[in-house]
Amino acid sequence: MNALVEIQNVSTYFKSEQGVVKAVDALDLRIHEGETVCIVGESGCGKSAAAMSLMGLIPEAVGSIVSGEIWFAGRDLRKVSKEEMRKLRGNELAMIFQEPMSSLNPVLTIGEQIMEPIMEHQGLSKKVAQARAIELIELVGIPRAKEIAKSYPHELSGGMLQRIMIAIAISCNPRLLIADEPTTALDVTIQAQILDLLRKIKEEAQTAILFITHDLGVVAEMADQVVVMYAGKVVEVSPVVELFEEPKHPYTQGLLRSKPVLNQRRAKLYSIPGQVPNPTTLGEACYFLERCDQCLAICRVKQPPLRDGGDGRKVACWLYEEEIAGGK
């Protein structure tokens, strides 16, 4: 089955005073219709940069996609014009950003901000767009929709603003919805409601979702496929159940060991030793080398490739090279 999204060998670099930052390094990613793919990893691992690359939102002044192809519904997004990309963005491709207060316009009402993409991409009249905006506010579970439509962002709570961001994102029935940490800083009750809403959207419209998070509980609840990133590179790809039952990469194993366990409250919470490497001084060795307790001699001289291990699983680790080769 052809993928809705296919990212092939994409690298996105940023300029800094210290040097070039390899925010995304040779990323490969596939998303099918109606599938939820979660990208997980520590802050700074390249999750959001990958999403911004897909959306064509990398600021030209500080960064660029230096290699690779990004295919969406059979179109190479790196070759479409800026005007074509603008028509796709907010229409067939939509994104829920991490900070709703900084993403919404403080001088426009909520209703006006929901109406904008509807009128722009669907060509509807202002009256019809107003009615649709109220429907969307109700759809995302906010009461008093007509009153809320006349409100400004500062008058709403964080949870309500995040739902408004979802309403804007789904206003044109996108084929792909990118959710960048949509439940960060929300209390657990609101978090559960947001996740339920995204699941409902996916099931009813067969919307594909790219979900970016560092929360493994959210991954377990939302994902069909999981992509684990570390220092800009994909280190493991797996169906969600298999990832939690048998994580392959030492970094994935460390992430799962870092979760609190109810019957081990007295035990010291595990944390992965060391620090993420400086992104401007990455060499040829495995990026996880200094934090890994299973490293081999080859890890010090050569970066492991991302290999297909069968059953929809991929891993970039020298520990599995012999096993993977033997399986083939």
Q: Which residues, given as ranges, of the chain have pLDDT below 70? A: 1, 185, 261-267, 322-328
Question: Token digits for 14?
Answer: 């940023």
Lookup result for tokens 């800026």: 82
| pLDDT of amino acid 327 | 44
| pLDDT of amino acid 172 | 92
Express each pLDDT in 159-172 by its tens digit. Answer: 899 899 999 999 99
Express each pLDDT in 27-64 by its tens digit. Answer: 999 999 999 999 999 888 999 999 999 999 999 899 99
Scanning the chain, the segments in alpha helix (DSSP H) are 47-55, 82-88, 100-103, 110-122, 126-139, 145-149, 158-169, 188-205, 216-222, 240-245, 250-257, 321-327
- Burial of 28 by CB count in 10 Å (0-12 exposed, 13-18 middle, 19+ buried)? middle
Looking at residue 136, its amino acid is L
Closest CA to 209 of 169, 159, 158: 169
